[in-house]
């Protein structure tokens, strides 16, 4: 259940011109300007370590999903100004800052197929460069000149951090509820997606029903994406997806398939979960046993249905918006996120 | 050269009613409301780890110097609203967040005479709770409703983080210049002092010359404070100040006394500094040798004079403001900061 750069792991298995690629083509001019702004603002004349660390991560081939959500939302709402570029750079900086801090917290060694910054430099640099990027994001937002946009992003930042702390304290806790899980994944993934789409609409002074529709879309898309990710970690769609499986199990993370299997556990299964999750005492065969228990209780299938339901909710939200090529691409993106479930 | 909770180490040696105590008496009603706001906003219904970690630090007896600077500046400029409490809580949250991250970066074991949060909980909690407090600070600021205040604080946040990264990269670098040193201590201490006083004035819609005067006061006060701190670390005023000395030397930090001694070094001294600072090869007698070299070149005395000059600059800035009991207390505070030099 690590925070992913959304969709990066998918490209090899999918045909060219996946929805995020069509978005990137459609928004190419904007994206060039966003990338130029990102490069300009990650600079630091006096502390060259900052752009070194930032570039390592930001130029490693992320798909810029969050900036594209800002740009798509603002265009869907007929925005005419230039500040959507600032807002798009803002969400990418916040995302990058959270990745830097995540990798320190998770003691990760790899991210996007490259050694992490905490490994290449040190934890200190990751913590402090992350703080710098938060501050830079905040400056970019102030330039947008909208207190309501600032309100949305400050609330999202608090939700993100709260979700991360909650995840720390629910790890290895078999009493974790589905409500707590939802709060964790909202923080991990959905809060920045929904802030991106909502703030893009607010910047464009869109009517309230369009603002709400775009918030709901981002929220449901993010939740769907993270549930799929957590499902895949138990081997959901079989092999061949280029993803290591079993990481969440080994780290004792309480994700939806396990929460549902624990709710349905008999006494023997309960002892199993207590041993492998609470006490973290794992043997080689335990992951296969866990998979068998998940299958027995239908926890994998019900988790899959949950992800599909959130994807459908994202698409339903879009129906409140006027017809537009970007609306169709966002609709397809919600399909694309759950395509990994098949 | 660790970031200090300004003035906490002084109280035992000074008579009652030091300037910060007179400020606290004068601002008592405001401070009660600021403390209530801090307690309310550090809460997290869903992640109780957050208030636990925050309370450990925030209730450990910090003197609330930064909130008092906000309150004093806003009252000096005849502010009539309630948002100075939000702004005061904001700067305390930003300060607390930086302390949490500092202690991770410095691998500190003690802060304000107690075990640090990274030791009592873990580095993960310190990083993430720090992020949460930054987000909460940002929300409080948005509630103030002033884009100019947001601009000041976002710039200060970037200066703070940039200074911290610069300090990482100048450590053990004997080529560090006085300009770089000034940039580091502005980030470490002065940027939040000057943002507190400037933003307090801006919130009160003060005339520009008063805004500038209060910015200059906070900036010079912070610089003076940090230079004194760095001077004391080489045993400046002898024993009896309840401060460990030699920490900066052992960590290879380039503070003003050393930068000046290196600038005046002969060949033999240069090899000494290369060995103890650049290569970090230190023997028991080296700190005493360093102290002797600093004395020989007058580096301690010239550093002392530099701190006095910044304190005088802080007081000079105040003369642009109208007479007020708070102006007198801020003036005395600038004396108090350098009282440790005697």
DSSP state string for A120-154:
HS-HHHHHHHHHHHHHHHHHHHHHHT-HHHHHHHH
Q: Given phi > 0 = left and psi -120 to 50 = alpha, else beta, which region is B246?
A: left
Q: Given phi > 0 = left and psi -120 to 50 = alpha, else beta, which region is A241?
A: alpha
What's the pLDDT band for A74 if we cut at 50, 70, 90? very high
Residue B33 CB-half CA count within 13 A: 12
Closest CA to B200 of B133, B152, B136: B152
| A231 and A86 part of one domain | no
Residue with structure tokens 């490069």? A39
> What number is the average pLDDT over the span A105-131?
82
Q: Is residue A327 part of a domain?
A: no
Closest CA to B97 of B133, B64, B128: B133
Which of A145, A160, A175 represents a domain boundary (last residue)?
A145
State the Cα–Cα distance between residues A207 and A236, nearest whole angstrom: 40
CA distance B103 to chain A (A): 10
Sequence-separated (6 or more) residues with CB below 8 Å from residue B24: B31, B63, B64, B68
Residue A125 pLDDT = 87
| A161 and A262 part of one domain | yes
- Res. A9: pLDDT tops 60: no
State the Cα–Cα distance between residues A337 and A214, nearest whole angstrom: 17
Residue A243 pLDDT = 60
Q: Is residue A298 part of a domain?
A: yes
> Tens of pLDDT along B59-77?
776 889 999 999 999 999 9
Residue A79 pLDDT = 97
Residue B8 pLDDT = 47
Contact across the interface for A128 and B48, Cβ inside 8 Å:
no
How far is CA A245 from each of CA A8, A116, A287, B97, B98, rounded to the nearest angstrom? 16, 20, 10, 35, 36
Q: Find chain B residues with C-beta within 8 A of A155's C-beta.
A: 139
Q: Is residue A332 part of a domain?
A: no
Give yes or no for a contact between B279 and B237, defined as CB atoms under 8 angstroms apart.
no
**What are phi and psi for residue A92, nearest 5 degrees?**
-70, -40
> What number is the average pLDDT over the span A187-192?
96
Contact across the interface for A162 and B105, Cβ inside 8 Å:
no
Chain B residues with CB within 8 Å of chain A CB: 44, 46-50, 98, 101, 104-105, 123-125, 127-129, 131-132, 134-136, 138-139, 141-142, 145, 147, 150-151, 154-155, 157-158, 160-162, 164-166, 168-169, 180, 183
ipTM above 0.85, yes or no: yes
Identity of the residue in B129, B180, B183 whose CB atom sits nearest the CB atom of A165: B129
| A302 and A160 part of one domain | yes
> Tens of pLDDT along B289-307?
999 999 999 999 999 999 9
Q: Given phi > 0 = left and psi -120 to 50 = alpha, else beta, which region is A282?
A: beta
Which of A121, A145, A169 represents a domain boundary (last residue)?
A145
Residue A63 pLDDT = 86
State the Cα–Cα distance between residues B337 and A73, nearest whole angstrom: 52
> What number is the average pLDDT over the span A4-28?
70
Residue of B50, B131, B172 to mutate for A, most A C-beta atoms under 10 A: B131
Residue B281 pLDDT = 96
- Res. A4: pLDDT tops 60: no
> Tens of pLDDT along B103-117?
888 777 777 777 888
Neighbours of B146 (CB within 10 A): 18
> Tens of pLDDT along B128-177?
999 999 999 999 999 999 999 999 999 999 999 999 989 988 999 999 99
pTM, 2 dp: 0.92
| A241 and A135 part of one domain | no
Chain A residues with CB within 8 Å of chain B CB: 44, 46-50, 98, 101, 104-105, 123-125, 127-129, 131-132, 134-136, 138-139, 141-142, 145, 147, 150-151, 154-155, 157-158, 160-162, 164-166, 168-169, 180, 183
> What number is the average pLDDT over the span A310-324?
98
Q: Is residue A214 part of a domain?
A: yes
Question: Structurally, how many domains does chain A consist of?
Answer: 2
Mean pLDDT of chain A: 91
Identity of the residue in A47, A105, A125 whose CB atom sits nearest the CB atom of B127: A105
Q: What angle do CA A327, A331, A337 make, to 5 degrees?
A: 140
How far is CA B181 from each of CA A77, A126, B107, B188, rounded to the nearest angstrom? 48, 22, 22, 10
| A131 and A40 part of one domain | yes
State the Cα–Cα distance between residues B26 and B177, nearest whole angstrom: 41
What's the pLDDT band for B2 if we cut at 50, 70, 90? low
Contact across the interface for A154 and B142, Cβ inside 8 Å:
yes
- Res. A13: pLDDT tops 80: no
- Res. B245: pLDDT tops 90: no
- CATH number of the CATH domain containing B244: 1.10.600.10
Percent of chain A at pLDDT > 90 equals 75
Give yes or no for a contact between A96 and A64, defined as CB atoms under 8 angstroms apart.
no
Sequence-separated (6 or more) residues with CB below 8 Å from residue A244: none
Identity of the residue in B124, B138, B162 whose CB atom sits nearest the CB atom of A168: B124
What's the pLDDT band for B56 if we cut at 50, 70, 90? confident
Contact across the interface for B162 and A47, Cβ inside 8 Å:
yes
State the count of interchain CB pairs (< 8 A) between A and B: 140
CA distance A64 to chain B (A): 23
Residue A191 CB-half CA count within 13 A: 24
> What number is the average pLDDT over the span B260-269?
97
> What number is the average pLDDT over the span A167-194?
95
Residue B242 pLDDT = 53
| A140 and A150 part of one domain | no
| A184 and A280 part of one domain | yes
Q: Find chain A residues with C-beta within 8 A of B129's C-beta.
A: 161, 165
| A172 and A311 part of one domain | yes
| A114 and A150 part of one domain | no
Percent of chain A at pLDDT > 70 equals 92
CA distance A274 to chain B (A): 22
- Res. A8: pLDDT tops 80: no
Of A36 and B242, more confident: A36
Identity of the residue in B104, B132, B180 whose CB atom sits nearest the CB atom of A165: B132
Of B24 and A5, more confident: B24
> Tens of pLDDT along A227-276?
999 999 998 665 445 567 898 999 999 999 999 999 999 999 999 999 99
- Which residues lie across from A115 on neighbouring strands? A110
Q: Find chain A residues with C-beta within 8 A of B160's C-beta.
A: 131, 135
Q: Is residue B12 part of a domain?
A: no
State the Cα–Cα distance between residues B43 and A101, nearest whole angstrom: 22
Residue A238 pLDDT = 59
- Res. B12: pLDDT tops 90: no
Residue A96 pLDDT = 94
Q: Is A284 helix (H, G, I), strand (E, B) or coil?
A: coil
Q: Is residue B66 part of a domain?
A: yes
Residue A10 pLDDT = 45
Give yes or no for a contact between A249 and A313, defined as CB atoms under 8 angstroms apart.
no
Q: Is residue B6 part of a domain?
A: no
Q: Find chain A residues with C-beta within 8 A of B48's C-beta.
A: 169
Q: What is the DSSP letter of B238?
A: -
Sequence-separated (6 or more) residues with CB below 8 Å from residue B80: none
Residue B71 pLDDT = 98
Residue A29 belongs to domain spanning: 17-145
Sequence-separated (6 or more) residues with CB below 8 Å from residue B183: A46, B162, B163, B166
| A122 and A98 part of one domain | yes
Contact across the interface for B161 and A49, Cβ inside 8 Å:
no
Identity of the residue in A138, A158, A183 whose CB atom sits nearest the CB atom of B132: A158
| A178 and A95 part of one domain | no
Mean pLDDT of chain B: 91
What's the pLDDT band for B261 if we cut at 50, 70, 90? very high
Among the residues of chain A, which ranges form H helices?
Answer: 19-26, 28-41, 49-58, 65-76, 83-105, 117-120, 123-144, 147-170, 178-185, 191-203, 208-232, 247-250, 256-263, 267-273, 286-296, 299-318, 325-338
Q: Which of A185-199, B64-78, B80-94, B225-239 has the lowest mean pLDDT?
A: B225-239
Residue B238 pLDDT = 58
Residue of A101, A138, A160, A199 to mutate for B, most B C-beta atoms under 10 A: A138
State the Cα–Cα distance between residues B34 and B40, nearest whole angstrom: 10
Sequence-separated (6 or more) residues with CB below 8 Å from residue B310: B220, B221, B223, B224, B227
Direct distance between the N- and C-terminal alpha carbons of chain A, in angstroms, rounded to an integer: 19
Q: Which chain A residue shows the shortest CA-CA distance from B47?
A: A166
State the Cα–Cα distance between residues B77 and B327, nearest whole angstrom: 11
CA distance B84 to chain A (A): 18
Residue B11 pLDDT = 45
Q: Which chain A residue shows the shortest CA-CA distance from B100?
A: A127
Identity of the residue in B127, B161, B180 whose CB atom sits nearest the CB atom of A104: B127
Identity of the residue in A49, A105, A169 whose CB atom sits nearest the CB atom of B168: A49
Contact across the interface for B131 and A161, Cβ inside 8 Å:
yes
Identity of the residue in B158, B165, B183 whose CB atom sits nearest the CB atom of A49: B165
Contact across the interface for A138 and B138, Cβ inside 8 Å:
yes
- Res. A116: pLDDT tops 90: no
Q: Pairing mode, if any, of strands A114-115 and A110-111?
A: antiparallel
> What number is the average pLDDT over the span A210-225?
98
Q: Is residue A118 part of a domain?
A: yes
Closest CA to A132 of B193, B169, B226, B283: B169
Residue A44 pLDDT = 86
């Amino acid at each position: 259940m690590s925070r992913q750069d959304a969709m990066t792991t998918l490209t090899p298995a999918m045909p060219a011109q996946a929805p995020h690629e069509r978005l990137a083509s459609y928004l190419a001019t904007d994206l060039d300007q966003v990338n130029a702004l990102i490069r300009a603002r990650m600079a630091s004349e006096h502390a060259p370590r900052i752009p070194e660390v930032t570039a390592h991560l930001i130029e490693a081939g992320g798909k810029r999903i969050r900036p594209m959500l800002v740009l798509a939302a603002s265009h869907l709402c007929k925005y005419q100004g230039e500040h959507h570029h600032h807002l798009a750079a803002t969400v990418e900086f916040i995302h990058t800052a959270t990745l830097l801090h995540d990798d320190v917290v998770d003691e990760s060694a790899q991210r996007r197929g490259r050694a992490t910054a905490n490994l290449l430099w040190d934890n200190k640099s990751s913590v402090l460069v992350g703080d710098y990027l938060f501050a830079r994001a905040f400056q970019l937002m102030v330039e947008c000149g909208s207190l309501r946009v600032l309100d949305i992003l400050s609330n999202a930042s608090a939700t993100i951090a709260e979700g991360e702390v909650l995840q720390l304290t629910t790890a290895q806790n078999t009493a974790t509820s589905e409500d707590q899980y939802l709060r964790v994944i909202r923080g991990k993934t959905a809060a920045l997606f929904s802030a991106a789409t909502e703030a893009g609409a607010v910047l464009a002074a869109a009517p309230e029903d369009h603002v709400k529709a775009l918030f709901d879309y981002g929220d449901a898309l993010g939740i769907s994406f993270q549930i799929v990710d957590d499902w895949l970690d138990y081997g959901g769609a079989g092999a061949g997806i280029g993803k290591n499986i079993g990481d969440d199990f080994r780290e004792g993370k309480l994700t939806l398939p396990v929460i549902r299997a624990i709710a349905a556990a008999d006494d023997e299964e309960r002892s199993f979960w207590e041993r492998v999750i609470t006490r973290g005492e794992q043997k080689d065969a335990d992951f296969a046993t866990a998979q068998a228990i998940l299958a027995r209780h239908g926890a994998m299938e019900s988790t899959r249905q949950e992800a599909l339901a959130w994807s459908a909710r994202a698409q339903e939200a879009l129906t409140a918006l006027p017809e537009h090529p970007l609306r169709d691409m966002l609709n397809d993106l919600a399909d694309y996120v759950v395509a990994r479930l098949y």
